[in-house]
Structure 1
Amino acid sequence: MGSIPFIFIILLFHLQKSKSQTIESAHLLDLMIRDYTIRNFNIHFKTGTVQKIHLPSNFSSIDIATAKFRCGSLRKHGARIGEFHLGPGLTVQPCVERVILVRQNLGFNWSSYIYSTGYNLTGYNYQLVSPVLGLLAYNSNPDGVAVNPYEISVIGTEQNPILIHFLSSKASGNPKPNTEKNSSILCACFTSNGNITFREQVSAYVCLGTRQGHYALVIRAHGGSVGGGGTVVTPASSPAVNDGGGGRLSRWKVAVGSIIGSVIGALLLGLLVVAMVVKGKKKAMREQIERRAYEEEALQVSMVGHVRANPNASRTRTVPRFDNRYSNK
């Protein structure tokens, strides 16, 4: 599992990039939530018991709930976790012994920046009227959580669907929205490849899904305002939006994250250049020492570039000697 502050820096950096990179940021956010959930999962909770996961302060507006189920029981009986109602008859692939369900409520901040902006929801002429709710499944060990978790497919059908209930009678603070079905509000499903599929509600503020993923309620935009008598829906578990924040992440936080990411990248590049320079200097110094050692040998070896030449011995002549026996005659 990666470092959560590092993933946060990368996530902020990606928020200023293109659509494909913003979708990658959605995947990074899912990985961060997965890792933190598994790291703080209480294995002593009974199977099927929902427990809350508290994320770091940087992600305090995101609400997380999780529970562990037996795969066979999940397929046969279904499950309920937060706003998600999973009916019986599900297909779980692969069907490991135990499965961890992670339910996400991203709040309006992250929903707006990653899904509304990143998936170009305004390009479809729609805008969010609810936070994005996510449901993801991962493998689990019988006696705890998996060391190497991976995503599991939970698939329903039109007859045995996954229902997402966006409206809760426990909504705090605001008057209860109109519970009559509004035909101008649609269900949006955000796929991992960057597409959005729209469909009508099955009942007031209730959407139908056929697999795990991310869902939200949207309404067609009319001149930048919500029309058709639509009401912003805030599920009970959705954290309140900060006053004065406009439901958006402060731009200075994005700027700070981008600067930090750029500094880290420049630092790593600088260290790489320094390592290459030091290595080159050491190699040159080693070659110079070897050259001097060869030149100072007793035979006075000459160097031609990096090639050792044969010794060049000076020519000598033996001095002639005369026989004394003939010199005295």
Structure 2
Amino acid sequence: MKLLGSVQSIHHFIILHGLVVLLFAYQYKAQSPGASSSSASSLNALLQDYAYRALVRPHTGVIYPGNVPSNLTGIGIAAVRLRSGSLRRKGIIFNEFEIPTGLIVQPYVRRLVLVYHNLGNWSSFYYPLPGYTYLTPVLGLLAYDATNLSATNLPELSMVVSESFISINFTNATHVLSGTDARCVWFDVNGSPDFQQLVSINTCSTYRLGHFSIVVNSSEIAPSPVPSLPPGPVPSPGGSKSSNSKAWKIAGGVVGGLVALAALTLIVYYIRQRKNKKVAQLEQHADAGVSLQTARVGNTQIPVASGTRTLPVLENELVA
């Protein structure tokens, strides 16, 4: 019974260990950056932080390119600080974005920072679009308060167009658009797409900030994105060599742990088997009893106690 209880306890421990491993793997997968609104929002917050780092004693209206972490190589960012009143009166051309006059910032801030994103080869990773192929990288333009250039996790400001639309000129898309039914796509804060017709062969228009690209139905073109930046190492947090290496390490650790646990179980089982076998042998000897010497008295064989080393001595012999 003890052996059976021990084996059952080990079996339960193995099941519990497997459940813990599965839970850990699920949490690891859930926490990995990927195509979701939470990962895109996290990316926006991270790029805002790194874009603000480029604004060291900035001059108003000057564009400052920023640097991204090494694990996001391939993404381009830039920032420009502006006065809200000046932006409303004059507008600005910021890389591919042309902001017209009359644009109003909500809520009102005296100074703001426009942060530019070019997601390059990461476009389909952070903004997946099943059934469509990206003809251009996803470009983003977001606005933040410029009161504190050391602040992080700032809320995004909204912009209201009062006169004409914001234009996005995808200059690198001209050579891939001919003969295709391409469309503009805008992604809201939840990552939901909104499709619109092109204004011209490579230009989209919008009345709001966010992320934009030009896409085409995958059946009309080979599914290969056309990044604006030269291809290079793009260690994706969810699908790169580094993440694959981590995944393999985790899988190896899990398999190794299970193998070690199985070996330990066999060892414990073997030791308990040997111990129980010895106990059974001792109990068998005890049940059989110890044979006594016998002697024949007449026609009867009767047990006789063995002789003792110390012979009995009469009491009077002990008297001196």
1:185 to 2:191 alignment: no
1:13 to 2:31 alignment: yes
Q: CA deviation at 1:15?
A: 3.2
In structure 1, distance between residues paired with 2:245 and 2:51:
26
Q: 1:161 to 1:253 in 2, by over 3 A?
A: same
Q: 1:206 to 1:232 in 2, by over 3 A?
A: farther
Q: Deviations over 1:186-219 (max 9, x none)?
A: 0010111231100111011111111110001100
Please provide the CA RMSD for this pair.
3.4
Q: CA deviation at 1:127?
A: 1.6
1:278-297 paired onto structure 2 within 5 Å: none
1:156 to 2:161 alignment: yes
Q: Percent identity?
A: 31
In structure 1, distance between residues paired with 2:250 and 2:56:
33
> What stretches of structure 2 of length at least 5 have no aligned partner?
1-27, 252-320
In structure 1, distance between residues paired with 2:189 and 2:40:
9
Query: What is aligned with 1:47?
Result: 60
Q: CA deviation at 1:14?
A: 3.1
1:240 to 2:230 alignment: yes
Query: What is aligned with 1:69?
Result: 82
Secondary structure, in 3 states, of the residue corresponding to 1:222?
helix
TM norm structure 1: 0.59
1:133 to 2:124 alignment: no
Greater fraction helix: 2
Q: CA deviation at 1:113?
A: 1.1
8 Å contact 1:129–1:232 — kept in the other structure?
yes
TM norm structure 2: 0.61
In structure 2, distance between residues paired with 1:68 and 1:49:
7
Q: CA deviation at 1:185?
A: 0.7
In structure 2, distance between residues paired with 1:35 and 1:91:
24
Secondary structure, in 3 states, of the residue corresponding to 2:232?
coil
Larger Rg, first or second structure (1 or 2): 2
1:36 to 2:47 alignment: no
1:144-223 paired onto structure 2 within 5 Å: 145=149, 147=151, 149-156=154-161, 159-168=163-172, 177=175, 184-222=181-219
8 Å contact 2:127–2:191 — kept in the other structure?
no
1:253 to 2:251 alignment: no
Secondary structure, in 3 states, of the residue corresponding to 1:88?
coil
Secondary structure, in 3 states, of the residue corresponding to 2:218?
strand
Q: Deviations over 1:164-189 (max 9, x none)?
A: 11115xx9xxxx72686x66110010
Query: What is aligned with 1:115?
Result: 127
Q: CA deviation at 1:11?
A: 10
8 Å contact 2:136–2:213 — kept in the other structure?
yes
In structure 1, distance between residues paired with 2:46 and 2:207:
25
Q: 1:11 to 1:129 in 2, by over 3 A?
A: farther
Q: CA deviation at 1:89?
A: 1.1
In structure 1, distance between residues paired with 2:243 and 2:93:
36
In structure 1, distance between residues paired with 2:176 and 2:221:
22
8 Å contact 1:69–1:99 — kept in the other structure?
yes
The one-letter code matched in structure 2 to 1:177 is H
Aligned length: 223
In structure 1, distance between residues paired with 2:248 and 2:102:
49
8 Å contact 2:133–2:225 — kept in the other structure?
no
Q: 1:106 to 1:12 in 2, by over 3 A?
A: farther
8 Å contact 2:115–2:143 — kept in the other structure?
yes
In structure 1, distance between residues paired with 2:29 and 2:43:
7
8 Å contact 1:84–1:164 — kept in the other structure?
yes
8 Å contact 2:180–2:220 — kept in the other structure?
no
Q: 1:232 to 1:224 in 2, by over 3 A?
A: closer
